């Protein structure tokens, strides 16, 4: 499998990098940035109390994330690669959430990623002998809610106002203003809102 330079998100070709045998999946520059980011977050943010959202947002921006002024990220959350994170106004990434941002993750206005949720943009080509790492962006629409310990897979689009219930698993797009539960996630009802 050969990834085009414009859409591979810095992923190396596994057939030449030998990633399946312990070789790198990303270029040195990418790995150095992630190392610096991991050290910075561990020393300066991971232990900080909840009210210090502005400080953590500052650190994320310093490493390339694009966050609205009032975007909030808890210290125990794990952001894999900040340059791929976009958070619009009044968004939240809760305690212990994992944002595995090999590819871009866009969190729309008013959306909530609850505690322990996992947004995973990466996978592997299981039919490739080199087990090539692959990645696809995730978009969480405005006012959507990814509930506690839910999982969102690569390439998924969460519609505006959609809900993925606790421990739900989404490998396909979720319709706007609909509540989804289970593994795999299935719609159970419309989400009612007061205007």
For residue 119, how many other CB atoms are within 10 A of its CB? 27
Q: Note the pLDDT of residue 2.
A: 38
Let me know: does 69 contact 51? Beta carbons within 8 Å.
no
pTM to 2 decimals? 0.93
Tell me what the mean pLDDT of segment 171-195 comes to: 92
Let me know: does 117 contact 137? Beta carbons within 8 Å.
no
CA 60 – CA 67 distance, rounded (Å):
8
* pLDDT tens profile 93-105: 999 999 999 999 9
Q: In what order do the strands lie in the sheet with 157-158?
A: 66-67, 85-87, 105-107, 138-140, 157-158
Query: Which residues share a beta bridge with 67?
Result: 87
Closest CA to 88 of 104, 64, 72: 72
Q: Note the pLDDT of residue 7.
A: 66
Q: Looking at 45-130, list the stretches that DSSP marks H as alpha helix, in order from N- to C-terminal side.
A: 53-62
CA 62 – CA 82 distance, rounded (Å):
9
Q: Note the pLDDT of residue 195.
A: 52
* pLDDT tens profile 139-177: 999 999 999 999 999 999 999 999 999 999 999 999 999
Confidence of residue 194 (pLDDT cuts 50, 70, 90): low
Question: What are 36's two structure tokens?
Answer: 């610096």
Confidence of residue 22 (pLDDT cuts 50, 70, 90): very high
Is the predicted pLDDT of residue 6 greater than 80, yes or no? no
Confidence of residue 3 (pLDDT cuts 50, 70, 90): very low
Q: What is the mean pLDDT of the chain?
A: 94
Is the predicted pLDDT of residue 19 greater than 80, yes or no? yes
Name the more confident of 38 and 7.
38
Q: How many CA atoms lie within 13 A of 153 on its CB side?
A: 13
């Amino acid at each position: 499998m050969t990834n085009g330079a414009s859409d591979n998100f810095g992923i190396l070709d596994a057939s030449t990098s030998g990633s399946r045998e312990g070789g790198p999946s990303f270029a040195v520059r990418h790995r150095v940035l992630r190392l610096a980011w991991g050290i910075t977050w561990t020393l300066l943010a991971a232990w900080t109390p909840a009210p210090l959202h502005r400080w953590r947002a500052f650190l994320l921006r310093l490493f390339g994330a694009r966050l609205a002024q009032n975007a909030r990220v808890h210290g125990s959350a794990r952001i894999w690669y900040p340059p791929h994170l976009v958070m619009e106004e009044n968004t939240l990434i809760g305690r212990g959430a994992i944002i595995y941002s090999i590819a871009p993750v866009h969190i729309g206005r008013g959306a909530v990623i609850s505690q322990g949720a996992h947004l995973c943009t990466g996978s592997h080509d299981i039919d490739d002998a080199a087990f090539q790492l692959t990645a696809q962006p995730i978009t969480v629409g405005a006012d959507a809610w990814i509930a506690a310990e839910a999982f969102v897979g690569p390439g998924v689009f969460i519609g505006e106002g959609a809900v993925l219930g606790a421990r739900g698993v989404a490998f396909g797009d979720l319709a706007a203003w609909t509540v989804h539960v289970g593994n795999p996630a299935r719609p159970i009802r419309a989400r009612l809102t007061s205007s």
